[in-house]
Chain A
Amino acid sequence: MAFIKTKGFLAVPLIIAVVMFADYFIAVKEVASLAGILRTWALVISSMALGLGVVNLVRVHGKNIYVRKPGMWIFSTVTLFTFTVVFLAGVLAKQSDLWNWPFQHVYTTLQQTMYAATGFYIVSSAYRAFRARNVDATLLLISGCVVALRNAPIGEAIWGGFSVLGDWFMDVGQLPGYRVFAMVTGFGIIAYSLRVILGSERGFYGGRRE
């Protein structure tokens, strides 16, 4: 038992990695079947994570209400009340008006309002942040304005060059940066995965890093 606790669990990611690699590179029916089981486990585990999220939600907000945390407990009460109503509606009255009403008349409108409101904050932040304080900032704001006008039909109506210049900024200016970012991320994932597989990444197990 002690061995499993200290060393044995380190083999779990290694075994999974070997199976998944073998499934990808070698066409063996038994390995494919095992890999399929592991992928289904991943699906089950992530579904369990949703349940864990519910437990955590109740625990954190329940504690806020219990200790009457200033400035928080009222919101926590609303959260838990909403959760309870929607949960019960889902369990007891799926496909009924009781289930659909909160979604159609509360959730939808709140989501769309929140999303629309971000437009105003973007305007505000653009107004405050885009200042030509030095050469770099000036270049950033010029390219930002050109790309904004390139994306809107009114830009092309004002001057056809906005489209050409905007495309140049996008294709020549930002695309190589994104490619580099994507490739570096890929290498980073490989490096991290190797550390996990080899048991060097202890944070993965909830412990300390070596």
Chain B
Amino acid sequence: MSKVFSKLEDIDRRYYYWAIFLILAVPFIKPLGMPISIKQSTRDLYKGVDQVEPGEVVLIDWHMSVSTWPECLDGLVAELKVLTSHDVKIVITSISVDCEMSWNKVNQLVPALRDKYEYGKDIVFLGYYAGGEPTNQQMAIDVWSVFPTDHFKTPIAELPLMAEARTANDYAIVLTTGENEIVWVNQWWTPYGVPVGVMGIAMKGSALQPYYNSGDIFGLAVGVRGGAEFELLIGEPAGAVTRMDSISLSHLSVVILIIIANTGVLYNKLTGGKK
């Protein structure tokens, strides 16, 4: 008996790697469709995005490389669907060097960006910027000084949208995707009062909660769950909702593995076995 418990305490990792792989495959073969409750912070994000008036300009900052797509892309697409349905004008910047990949991807996934929006007039992709927080600060004063051209090397003066979106005061809200939220709070919300909404990675949820509670961030949705909640709020369940079943099973598997490992620990403790 003690041998069994000792083995439980130290299972070869290859076994549970296979177990996790097979468990994660289940929902893709047969979706479970677990109900997903929606957090207040996601509702607030949706409300903030939904309240932007037609013709107003929203700045979206991507700190999202392709590796972050599974976590953040679906939420971003849902946000863009809301914004485009309201005819909101959009300016996009990024601090990820592969931002062009994300640009191409959202253009595939949000039909309105291709069919309804005219580049330069309704939407502009400014692309990558370096320099960290001083750059965000300078953008608040004059976006043109940081981006003399857009990502496709079009002079910024030739883009009609940028004539009306030159300083922080010209923007209704800022939406961040991935990370880099706090610099926008520091440089756009605190001095200029431009509200900041976050579609972040799950890992940052805890760190951002104080900013949401204090009102420095008007809405917060993190990880696949945040994206799934946003998809449900707009009534278009898509990739993130599908992935939530895998999240459910993986989380449950981790908890079961922890319980199995600790059964061995507990047994050995009670019987005075291996320490």
Listed in ascending order, the chain A residues whose CB lies under 8 Å from chain B are 24, 32, 36, 38-40, 42-43, 45-47, 49-50, 103-104, 107-108, 111-112, 114-116, 119-120, 122-124, 126-128, 130-133, 141, 144-145, 148-149, 151-157, 163, 170-171, 174-175, 178-179, 182
B37 interface neighbour in A40, A45, A163, Cβ under 8 Å: A163
Chain B 124-145 interface residues, beta-carbon cutoff 8 Å to A:
129-132, 134-135, 137-138, 141-142, 145
Cβ–Cβ contact A42 & B254, under 8 A: no
Cβ–Cβ contact A154 & B251, under 8 A: yes
Known A-B contacts A40-B138, A108-B66, A123-B253; the reply to A152 vs B247 at CB < 8 A is: yes
Task: Say if the beta carbon of B117 comes within 8 Å of chain A.
Answer: no
Which residue, of B98, B101, B134, has the highest number of chain A Cβ atoms within 10 A?
Answer: B134
Known A-B contacts A126-B258, A141-B262; the reply to A112 vs B66 at CB < 8 A is: yes
Cβ–Cβ contact A174 & B129, under 8 A: no
Nearest neighbor of A44 in chain B, beta-carbon distance: B131
Cβ–Cβ contact A151 & B225, under 8 A: yes
CB distance from A183 to the nearest CB of B (A): 10
Q: Which of chain B's residues have a CB closer than 8 A to the CB of A178?
A: 206-207, 209-210
Nearest neighbor of B32 in chain A, beta-carbon distance: A154
Give the CA-CA distance A122 to B202 in the complex, in Å.
14
Q: What are 16 contact pairs spanning A and B, CB under 8 A?
A: A36-B142, A40-B145, A43-B138, A43-B146, A46-B135, A104-B101, A126-B254, A130-B258, A132-B262, A145-B255, A149-B252, A154-B248, A156-B35, A157-B34, A157-B35, A157-B248
Known A-B contacts A43-B146, A46-B131, A157-B34; the reply to A131 vs B251 at CB < 8 A is: no
Known A-B contacts A111-B65, A148-B254, A175-B209; the reply to A127 vs B11 at CB < 8 A is: yes
A108 interface neighbour in B17, B37, B101, Cβ under 8 Å: B101
Nearest neighbor of B261 in chain A, beta-carbon distance: A127
Known A-B contacts A112-B69, A149-B255, A154-B251; the reply to A50 vs B130 at CB < 8 A is: yes
Q: Which of chain A's residues have a CB closer than 8 A to the CB of B13?
A: 124, 127
Q: Which of chain B's residues have a CB closer than 8 A to the CB of A174?
A: 206
Q: Which of chain B's residues have a CB closer than 8 A to the CB of A144?
A: 258
Cβ–Cβ contact B131 & A127, under 8 A: no
Cβ–Cβ contact B258 & A107, under 8 A: no
Nearest neighbor of B244 in chain A, beta-carbon distance: A153
Count residues of chain B with CB under 8 A from any CB of chain A.
Answer: 57
Give the CA-CA distance A39 to B129 in the complex, in Å.
13
Cβ–Cβ contact A42 & B247, under 8 A: no
Cβ–Cβ contact B34 & A132, under 8 A: no
Give the CA-CA distance A191 to B244 in the complex, in Å.
44
Task: Say if the beta carbon of B112 comes within 8 Å of chain A.
Answer: no
Chain B 230-256 interface residues, beta-carbon cutoff 8 Å to A:
244, 247-255
Known A-B contacts A112-B67, A112-B70; the reply to A39 vs B137 at CB < 8 A is: yes
Q: Which of chain A's residues have a CB closer than 8 A to the CB of B206?
A: 170, 174-175, 178
Q: Which of chain A's residues have a CB closer than 8 A to the CB of B138?
A: 36, 39-40, 43
Q: Which of chain B's residues have a CB closer than 8 A to the CB of A148?
A: 251, 254-255
CB distance from A181 to the nearest CB of B (A): 8
Chain B 57-87 interface residues, beta-carbon cutoff 8 Å to A:
65-70
Cβ–Cβ contact B68 & A115, under 8 A: yes
Cβ–Cβ contact B36 & A153, under 8 A: yes
Cβ–Cβ contact B210 & A114, under 8 A: no
Cβ–Cβ contact A36 & B141, under 8 A: yes
Give the CA-CA distance A145 to B11 in the complex, in Å.
20
Give the CA-CA distance A131 to B275 in the complex, in Å.
12
A153 interface neighbour in B35, B100, B202, B254, Cβ under 8 Å: B35
Nearest neighbor of A156 in chain B, beta-carbon distance: B37
A46 interface neighbour in B34, B98, B130, B207, Cβ under 8 Å: B130
Cβ–Cβ contact B257 & A126, under 8 A: yes
Cβ–Cβ contact B16 & A130, under 8 A: no
Nearest neighbor of A127 in chain B, beta-carbon distance: B257
Cβ–Cβ contact B248 & A153, under 8 A: yes
Cβ–Cβ contact B98 & A107, under 8 A: yes
Cβ–Cβ contact A39 & B255, under 8 A: no
CB distance from A122 to the nearest CB of B (A): 8
Known A-B contacts A42-B131, A178-B209, A178-B210; the reply to A123 vs B254 at CB < 8 A is: yes
